[in-house]
């Protein structure tokens, strides 16, 4: 169904209406694989159909959807919440007054100091939002207003030139970290679970979210290995392996008293999914106990560690891509920066010149 671009002779209500429509569209198109409370999501969507009275009411509904498992909605909503505050202070009378220059001014003023990743999320949210309105608005004469917001020339992003190299553990640090996993004083009821989970991430390079959402059926013993069926970004599946000697003892101990909902392999004391924040705190505490200090101590560093070591020992970029589940080989290419042999060859290129 299409709607007039402007209505009710009230810019604030019109802008709120379009943000509501867009958020409803996103809620119904985002992956719902991680949804824990389907009834809450349905209630939010029904409320959006009826409409909200304020941006605060909309924020509460978005928070409810996020808590139910649709965490990705914040990528779109938070920038739009800021946009609402920005545009409603300009005294606009019509949506047609909004142009790309105005959106660039908004992005420049509201994203200063944010990381490139956050800036990209803001840019994506703006493009998606106005593209949605382009397709959904319809005037009385049958025409549609097209904003055409592309933001190709927005200078707020440094691009690849500003990309930081990932933080990772050296082989000596990996050895210390593994020893620290075994000796860290976890509570007895979660010790086996924590050791098995952290080792699984370290030895396979899977994402923290992929590890915490593993199901019992996803881990298959096969001779001296376990096959893990991983559901990654975009619901794409892949298979990774881990040698059973690394986790069998801890895994068997955990399974002996595991009590998880929805067939989860790992869970908290309530039987539900462990949070990424909890896993990262565990990793950080173990690193500290091992005397290892890094710029970033979260669990995602273990994935970078695996990928870096995999490339250095295999020199096979395609293998890195497949093992980590990267959609593009360009994403995996960053790990080639740690190849000291290639760098040494580059440093030696002038040696024969007199």
158 is catalytic: no
304 is catalytic: no
Alpha-carbon distance of 341 to 352, in angstroms, equals: 18
Distances (CA, A) of 172 to 168, 197, 211, 305: 12, 21, 25, 12
* Count helices and strands in the chain by DSSP H and E runs: 15, 3
Write down the catalytic residue from 203, 303, 304, 311: 303
Tokens of 268: 């908290």
Contact 242, 228 (CB under 8 A): yes
Alpha-carbon distance of 173 to 181, in angstroms, equals: 12
226 is catalytic: no
First to last CA, the chain: 75
Write down the catalytic residue from 233, 243, 262, 345: 233
168 is catalytic: no
207 is catalytic: yes
Residues 6+ apart with CB under 8 A from 239: 227, 228, 229, 230
**By C-alpha distance, which of 73, 233, 79, 59 is closest to 151?**
79
Write down the catalytic residue from 21, 207, 246, 304: 207
Contact 196, 250 (CB under 8 A): yes
The pairs formed by 292-296 with CB atoms below 8 angstroms and a separation of 24 or more are 292/169, 292/173, 292/176, 292/177, 294/167, 294/169, 295/167, 296/167
Write down the catalytic residue from 24, 145, 229, 326: 326
278 is catalytic: no
Write down the catalytic residue from 26, 300, 304, 311: 300
Strand order of the sheet with strand 225-231? 219-222, 225-231, 237-243
Query: Which positions are catalytic?
Result: 207, 233, 300, 303, 326, 335
């Amino acid at each position: 169904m299409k709607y007039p671009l402007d209505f009710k002779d009230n810019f604030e209500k019109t802008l709120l209406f379009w943000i509501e429509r867009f958020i409803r569209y996103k809620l119904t198109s985002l992956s719902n694989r991680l949804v824990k409370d389907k009834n809450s999501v349905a209630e939010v969507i029904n409320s959006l159909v009826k409409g909200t009275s304020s941006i605060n009411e909309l924020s509460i509904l978005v928070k409810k959807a996020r808590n139910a498992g649709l965490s990705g909605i914040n990528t779109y909503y938070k920038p739009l919440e800021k946009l609402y505050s920005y545009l409603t202070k300009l005294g606009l009378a019509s949506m047609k007054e909004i142009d790309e220059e105005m959106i660039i001014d908004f992005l420049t003023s509201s994203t200063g100091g944010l990381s490139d990743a956050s800036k990209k999320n803001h840019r994506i949210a703006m493009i998606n939002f106005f593209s949605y309105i382009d397709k959904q608005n319809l005037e009385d004469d049958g025409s549609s207003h097209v904003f055409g917001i592309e933001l190709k020339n927005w200078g707020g992003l440094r691009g690849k030139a500003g990309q930081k190299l990932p933080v990772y553990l050296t082989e000596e640090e990996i050895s210390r970290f593994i020893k620290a996993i075994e000796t860290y004083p976890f509570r007895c009821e979660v010790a086996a679970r924590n050791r098995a989970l952290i080792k699984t991430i370290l030895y396979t390079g899977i994402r923290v979210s992929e590890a915490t959402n593993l199901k019992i059926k996803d881990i298959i013993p096969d001779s001296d290995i376990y096959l893990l069926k991983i559901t990654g970004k975009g619901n794409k599946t892949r298979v990774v392996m881990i040698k059973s000697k690394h986790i069998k003892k801890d895994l068997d101990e955990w399974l002996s008293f595991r009590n998880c909902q929805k067939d989860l392999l790992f869970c908290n004391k309530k039987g539900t999914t462990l949070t990424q924040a909890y896993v990262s705190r565990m990793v950080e505490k173990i690193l500290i106990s091992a005397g290892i200090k890094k710029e970033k101590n979260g669990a995602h560093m273990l994935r970078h560690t695996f990928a870096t070591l995999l490339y250095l020992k295999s020199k096979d970029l395609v293998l890195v891509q497949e093992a980590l589940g990267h959609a593009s080989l360009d994403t995996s290419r960053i790990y080639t920066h740690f190849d000291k042999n290639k760098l040494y060859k580059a440093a030696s290129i002038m040696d024969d010149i007199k």
